Amino acid sequence: MEQLKVDPRVVRTRKLILNAFIHLSETKEFKDISVKDVTTEAQINRATFYYHFQDIYDLLEKSLSEVLSVKMPEVTSWNGDTLVALFSAITDFQASLSTRCHRGYEDTIARIIRDQIEVVLVRLLSAEANYLSKETISLLATITSWSLYGASMEWKRTQSLSAEEFIRPILPHLVAIPLIQTQ
């Protein structure tokens, strides 16, 4: 199958827009950032913005997804280290958001985090737990992603321990989940 080549100008322009948005979000609340602000900061016109993004909310979602995907570890097996790495990526991402304007958009942020984790877990479980049906793998990935996100919110609220110390006590239980075969 022939792979499509992406025009480097398109990649560069998209990066300009994302960087402009991130820069603006460090000084302004999201609700105060307009497409005009982004286009001015990125030194592009509105048509170029709309070529890449539907609106400012699409830009928010895609920029958060991109930032999180960079932080996500490459996982190869379902074990404690993998789950610690995923949990650490979530907590690092949330810490980086604390300096940005994304207050008030917790639902969007939560969905993006859970979706990213779910993609990683489905890929991992499909390779490792091939005795499970696709539906079971999908459900397990969904439940685990919500669990890790919920635990990260509790960690963020208390922050009495490091992220790894916080998650370690429950790892044996999480790691065992896909190994339990249903009858």
Over residues 22-50, the pLDDT tens digits come to: 888 878 877 888 999 999 999 999 999 99
Burial class (CB in 10 A: 0-12, 13-18, 19+), 110: middle
Specify the DSSP class assigned to residue 123: H
Q: Residue 139 pLDDT more than 80?
A: yes
Q: What CATH number is attached to the domain comprising 41? A: 1.10.10.60
Q: Residue 182 pLDDT more than 50?
A: no
* Confidence (pLDDT) at 46: 96
Q: Which domain holds residue 34?
A: 8-53
* Confidence (pLDDT) at 68: 73
Residues 45 and 67 in one domain: no
Q: Residue 179 pLDDT more than 90?
A: no
Residues 109 and 161 in one domain: yes
Domain count for the chain, please give it.
2
What are the pLDDT digits (tens) for 110-137? Answer: 888 888 889 888 988 888 888 889 999 9
Per-residue pLDDT band for 3 (boundaries 50, 70, 90) equals low
Residues 129 and 85 in one domain: yes
Please give the radius of gyration of the chain, using alpha carbons only, rounded to the nearest integer. 19
Q: Is residue 118 part of a domain?
A: yes
CB 53 within 8 A of CB 62: yes
